[in-house]
Structure 1
Amino acid sequence: MAITGKPLAAEAGAMTFQKGGNAVDAACAMLAATCTMWDVLSWGGETQALIYNPKAGKVIAIDGLGVAPSGATVDFFKNKGMNFPPEYGPLAAVTPGTPGGLCYMLAEYGTMSLKEVLAPAMQLAAGYPIEAQTANSMERGKKMIKQWPYSTSVFLPHEGQEREAPEAGEIFVQKDLLETLTKMVDAEQQALKQKKTRKEAIYAAMERFYKGDIAKEFVRGAQEQGGLITMEDLAKWKPIEEEPLHVNYKGIDVYKLQQWSQGPSMLQALNILENFDLKSMGYNSSRYINTLYQTMSLAFADRDFYYGDPYFPPAEPMKGLLDKAYAKQRAALINPDKNDPDIGPGDPYPFEGKTNPYLNILKQRGFNVDTDNKTNPGATPSHDATSFVNDSAYMDRLWRGTTSVEAADKDGWVVSVTPSGGWLPACIAGHTGVGMSQRLQSFVLDSTLDPFNVIEPGKKPRVTLTPTLAMKDGKPFMAFAVQGGDTQDQNLLQCFLNVVEFGMTIQEAVEAANINTDQLWLSLGGEQVKDRQPHPGSILINSNTPDYVRRELIKMGYKLTFDDRTSGPINAIYFDWKHGSFWGGSSNHGEDYGIGW
């Protein structure tokens, strides 16, 4: 089973399976193809994956997220008058993670050569008929694109004409990117001629990207356009294999990435929801929506204050945050009759046997966490609230998309990936054809917002990217991921509950009507505090929501907005052990596509 954000990229995965590759090979082929097709990401972005290794019988996590470059300090950006790093351009870039993440997954857990896996992407780089969605995105972003000469030459082949981007169906050629990919493959093939192993040869390709002539051109092009990334930054960076975090929900073990992602917020939400009889409430009833909304608000309040890079001090209190007793205490805060706009971070430290060193910051923010771990009622903390407006710029930042990759094979390998970064309008670094990441914007410059996620050179920002794997009885149960910024774990949580609590098939679950909360700090977009502040009580619900549910939600204090599609495209694989088959699900909320054989 091969599922991803573009039909041609799904075909790359299917072709890889037909050539005898495993799920890791297929996932890498799809990842390479989606980056080449600018499916809201590029080769200079970041890759993070969960892989079930049937040989070891365990789920592993791959951290392919870049880091803040040399010179990316709080003072650097504050001196430019910013409250957050910028949304776009060379100063928004962390070091590229996708080339290294792909090479690591392939070398350690794949079976094929880089040459075989990159073949579809290289054919796409040589030229493919571009689809309307991507071509129109280039045209819409052309004013910004024109700031960057290398981006202009790639994305605006008709510069000076009325339409400067490619037309839908036009053959889109990326000569520089093709040359970069060719150099990586050449490095691999040379290593093989020198009698290196398959694994060593793939790492030779990775080294050429991060230390060789590709790195030199990337750094030259980035710095020419005002970027900070150095050769040393690239040479020092490495992908990391980690133990994922997990909780058990009613007999199902759900795995997420560590706290450098927002993934643990879904685990916290599941722990809280275990204290409620969701099935008896009814799917998308007002009671269910109210419980779900406040649960997510509680989990996101903790995410926004306590998550960050675990390889930098201070240490995040993850043991306390994922403790079932802490979740029970948080669940007690949920008001069954109305939304609580005052929800703030809790105090997980007692559940680790420690004292919270940040109580003064929480008090400064207006959150008074008492000894019962309850935020005292009162006015919404002034620093955390903004009056709600149906702001299209805000919604764009909330929903900002990427893609996802899901793959599974007959031998038991399962892969779930949420790659991102370098989305349009992207700044391309020199003649590499590689769009630079924009993930630096997910750092904070103000330690009172999140003392764990303050920018430092060499540090990872806390990102929204969040693949999921669920296991039951020691076997894969579901692999699923979605695009959509801060809505990702909201939609994945509901997709999971749709299957587990409400008995939906996987295709029903990925297309089902969800809700989205805006009662959180935005992770993307906006350089001023007001751009990112929570909108308490603001909720997106499906246009088909019955009038009586709408009325009940308004009485509960919610401010309603509507859409006929209330999640990004969710891609998922369900494992039917009764019949020995896979069920693939890909929602109709985008161009995402799945192929099974």
Structure 2
Amino acid sequence: MMEVSLPYVASELARAAGYDRPHGVPHQSRSVVMAREGLVATSHPLAAQAGVDVLRQGGTAADAAIAANAVLGVVEPMSCGIGGDLFAIYWDAKEKKLYGLNASGRSPIELNTSVFQERKLKEIPIDGPLSWTVPGCVDGWEMLRTRFGTLPMADLLAPAIGYAENGFAVTEIIAGSWEGATDSLKKWPDSADTFLPGGKAPTAGELFTNPRLAETYRQIAQGGRDTFYEGVIAEKIVAFSKDVGGFFSMRDFIEHESNWIEPVSTSYRGYNVWQLPPNGQGIAVLQMLNLLEAYDLKKMGHNSADYLHLLIEAKKLVFADRARFYADPAFADVPLEGLLSKEYANQQRKRIDPNKAAVTVPAGDPKLQNGDTIYLTVVDRFGNCCSLIQSTYHGFGSKVTPADLGFTLQNRGALFALDGEHPNRLEPRKRPFHTIIPAMVTKDGQPWLSFGVMGGDMQPQGQVQVLINMIDFGMNVQQAGDAARVRHLGSQTPTGREMEPDGGRVAVESGIGPDVVKALEQRGHKVVRLPGGFGGYQGIMIDPRTGTRQGGSDPRKDGAAVGY
């Protein structure tokens, strides 16, 4: 038998895999999905198929992304929905230009820190009405459709309405997340009525319907975004808010607006990596890459102790800056240019000890956990690319379903700080610090990779690991998502929490070997094993030689990449 040199993944995954693929990477979870014209990658197969169907109808990447997102709001309601926010990066092939969309909502006008002082609360509660911000998703859909779409909203919402009304079979990963939220959903009658049929979460394989959400989608399909922000849906949310002690007013919804913004980038080994500027955490990816670019990671070896130590230490430095500086730029002076400069990275890199884990990590001077989210990406036959991420933050957001509308409201307001001096402090009509971040990578002025990694604080850590897997270690778009990941927990946060003792913890997946764990511990890292929390990745690479679309979907989710 002829011997071949196999990529590292074969040896890493061979310990767990019980199968052998005759061609390609032997223990890759699935083949890269190849397509000539259009491709959609999402965390659920029904959503991916809905997106492809829209592409076949002549829709653009924007149209397909909206349709897929709407389906995900039905089939993965703990992770996303029209009660949440949306961010997107869009490549317009005709103009050869990137556009950024910030469709995140703001705090209620009538809510301020005195409310929490009177109630003797030191943090904003994770669940309930005090955690609400205005949902930006529906306005984001309309912004995308109006600028880049070709199909009417009614056509884009039709697949989601069908699944909500006629039912769908609940998948394995989603069933587990659903069950974990049961006790919290039971505290709110409308949430229990909507999401706990018979008083319990649906199990894998069980059919679930949401006729209330189907009706809400119909109203949006017929009346557009104004129905949500100025019409009957907003009126129901505001009336419900008053009944349960919330602070929403009609003015909050009527004055909501999303914004087109300029993406920002850094260069990494000849590639340009693009993110959206704050209020999100996307620039953390760029800061980490700036720090790591100076090291020969390939020589160190994939998931070696040397490489992982540097990754973890870079994350600590960047998250210290994140906690200190990231905020709504309409209210705070975010030193964006300084944070992203190579000079600042050179200065910060001197703080990394290659042999010792940092225990306390203050922010630098740039002027010299779990989150439930969906990420999806689409490339259409015209070459347009949409990188879209959407979320209600924690599982089922605030856990509160307003009346009979069929969706939960997000709890993004819990990410404000109550410290009156913090740039991310709670103020009326302010956007909170945000975790969800779409990404795109260009090479020689053309899109090369549209991707994202869902999962709260794991998002920038996961994105950096996926990118390094592809650029430094030569993995394909599926391998890069399959590979074992690490996750540092315990950095200080933009809500004002301090760093955990002893420099936090490092969670590792089972593919990280015991020798590597031991070497990390010898450097002073506190290594733990946790069930999940390592993110969920979707990605589409455009082959610069052939133009084919190549999709990967994370085995940690129920999803799929589907093309034609």
- Does residue 264 in structure 1 map to residue 237 in structure 2? no
CA contact (8 A) 2:453 2:535 kept: yes
2:492 pairs, out of 515, 521, 533, with 521
- CA-to-partner distance for each residue in 1:523-577, whole Å, 9 max, x for gaps? 69xxx957x8476152112323333322221110011113586722211111111
Distance across 2 between alignment mates of 1:246 and 1:310: 17
CA contact (8 A) 1:537 1:557 kept: no
Q: Secondary structure at the match of 2:539?
A: strand
- Match in the other structure for 1:60: 99
Distance across 1 between alignment mates of 2:222 and 2:409: 23
Q: 1:534 to 1:122 in 2, by over 3 A?
A: farther
- Match in the other structure for 1:405: 376
- Match in the other structure for 2:108: 69
Which piece of structure 1 moves more, 90-99 or 169-178?
A: 169-178
- Match in the other structure for 1:150: 190
- Match in the other structure for 1:234: 253
1:486 pairs, out of 457, 470, 487, with 457
Distance across 2 between alignment mates of 1:484 and 1:316: 24
- Match in the other structure for 1:196: none
Counterpart residue type for residue 551 of structure 2: G
- Match in the other structure for 1:108: 147
- Match in the other structure for 1:36: 74
Counterpart residue type for residue 155 of structure 1: F
- Match in the other structure for 1:429: 402
CA contact (8 A) 1:522 1:534 kept: no
Q: Secondary structure at the match of 2:541?
A: strand
Distance across 2 between alignment mates of 1:495 and 1:589: 14
- Does residue 86 in structure 1 map to residue 125 in structure 2? yes
- Match in the other structure for 1:472: 443
Q: Secondary structure at the match of 1:521?
A: coil
- Match in the other structure for 2:416: 443
CA contact (8 A) 2:161 2:214 kept: yes
1:120 pairs, out of 148, 159, 178, with 159
CA contact (8 A) 2:100 2:260 kept: yes
Distance across 1 between alignment mates of 2:501 and 2:324: 13
- Match in the other structure for 1:184: 220
Distance across 2 between alignment mates of 1:576 and 1:136: 36
Q: Secondary structure at the match of 2:49?
A: helix
Displacement of 1:592 after TM fit?
Answer: 1.8
- Match in the other structure for 1:557: 524
- Match in the other structure for 1:349: 367
CA contact (8 A) 1:220 1:430 kept: no
- CA-to-partner distance for each residue in 1:438-478, whole Å, 9 max, x for gaps? 11111111145xx2200111100111101110101010111
CA contact (8 A) 1:50 1:61 kept: yes
Which piece of structure 1 moves more, 256-265 or 282-291?
A: 282-291
- CA-to-partner distance for each residue in 1:149-191, whole Å, 9 max, x for gaps? 22122123314xxxx334444442322222221122222xxxx
Q: Secondary structure at the match of 2:457?
A: helix
Counterpart residue type for residue 263 of structure 1: G
CA contact (8 A) 1:44 1:437 kept: yes
Distance across 2 between alignment mates of 1:165 and 1:329: 51
- Does residue 589 in structure 1 map to residue 553 in structure 2? no
- Does residue 316 in structure 1 map to residue 354 in structure 2? no
CA contact (8 A) 2:45 2:560 kept: yes
Counterpart residue type for residue 329 of structure 1: Q
* Aligned positions of 1:136-175 closer than 5 A: 137-159=177-199, 164-175=200-211
Distance across 2 between alignment mates of 1:529 and 1:537: 12
- CA-to-partner distance for each residue in 1:473-517, whole Å, 9 max, x for gaps? 010111111111101100110100111011111111011112111
* Aligned positions of 1:272-421 closer than 5 A: 272-312=291-331, 314-350=332-368, 398-421=369-392
Distance across 1 between alignment mates of 2:216 and 2:462: 36
Q: Secondary structure at the match of 1:420?
A: strand
User: Any stretches of 5+ residues in structure 1 without a counterpart?
Assistant: 188-204, 351-397
- Match in the other structure for 2:63: 25
Distance across 2 between alignment mates of 1:137 and 1:307: 30
Counterpart residue type for residue 215 of structure 2: E
Counterpart residue type for residue 414 of structure 2: Q
Displacement of 1:519 after TM fit?
Answer: 4.0
CA contact (8 A) 1:92 1:440 kept: yes
Distance across 2 between alignment mates of 1:563 and 1:146: 27
CA contact (8 A) 1:68 1:93 kept: yes
Count of equivalent residues: 522
Q: Secondary structure at the match of 2:540?
A: strand
Counterpart residue type for residue 285 of structure 1: S
- Match in the other structure for 1:386: none
- Match in the other structure for 1:15: 53
Which piece of structure 1 moves more, 207-216 or 491-500?
A: 207-216
Q: 1:273 to 1:154 in 2, by over 3 A?
A: same
Distance across 2 between alignment mates of 1:254 and 1:529: 29
Q: Secondary structure at the match of 1:158?
A: helix
CA contact (8 A) 1:463 1:523 kept: no
Distance across 1 between alignment mates of 2:338 and 2:453: 27
Q: Secondary structure at the match of 1:411?
A: coil
2:136 pairs, out of 86, 92, 97, with 97
Distance across 2 between alignment mates of 1:515 and 1:41: 25
Displacement of 1:79 after TM fit?
Answer: 2.3
Distance across 1 between alignment mates of 2:175 and 2:292: 42
- Match in the other structure for 1:223: 242
- Match in the other structure for 1:548: 515
Distance across 2 between alignment mates of 1:585 and 1:520: 30
Distance across 2 between alignment mates of 1:124 and 1:335: 53
Q: 1:566 to 1:100 in 2, by over 3 A?
A: closer
User: Any stretches of 5+ residues in structure 2 without a counterpart?
Assistant: 1-38
CA contact (8 A) 1:518 1:535 kept: no
Counterpart residue type for residue 437 of structure 1: Q
Distance across 2 between alignment mates of 1:521 and 1:591: 32
Q: 1:565 to 1:505 in 2, by over 3 A?
A: farther
Distance across 2 between alignment mates of 1:566 and 1:277: 28
Distance across 2 between alignment mates of 1:581 and 1:302: 39
- Match in the other structure for 1:355: none
Counterpart residue type for residue 396 of structure 2: L
- Match in the other structure for 2:14: none
Q: Secondary structure at the match of 2:377?
A: strand
Q: 1:529 to 1:328 in 2, by over 3 A?
A: closer
- Does residue 505 in structure 1 map to residue 476 in structure 2? yes
User: Aligned Cα RMSD in Å?
Assistant: 2.0
Distance across 2 between alignment mates of 1:575 and 1:514: 24
Identity %: 31
Distance across 2 between alignment mates of 1:17 and 1:595: 11
Q: 1:266 to 1:136 in 2, by over 3 A?
A: closer
Distance across 1 between alignment mates of 2:192 and 2:88: 32
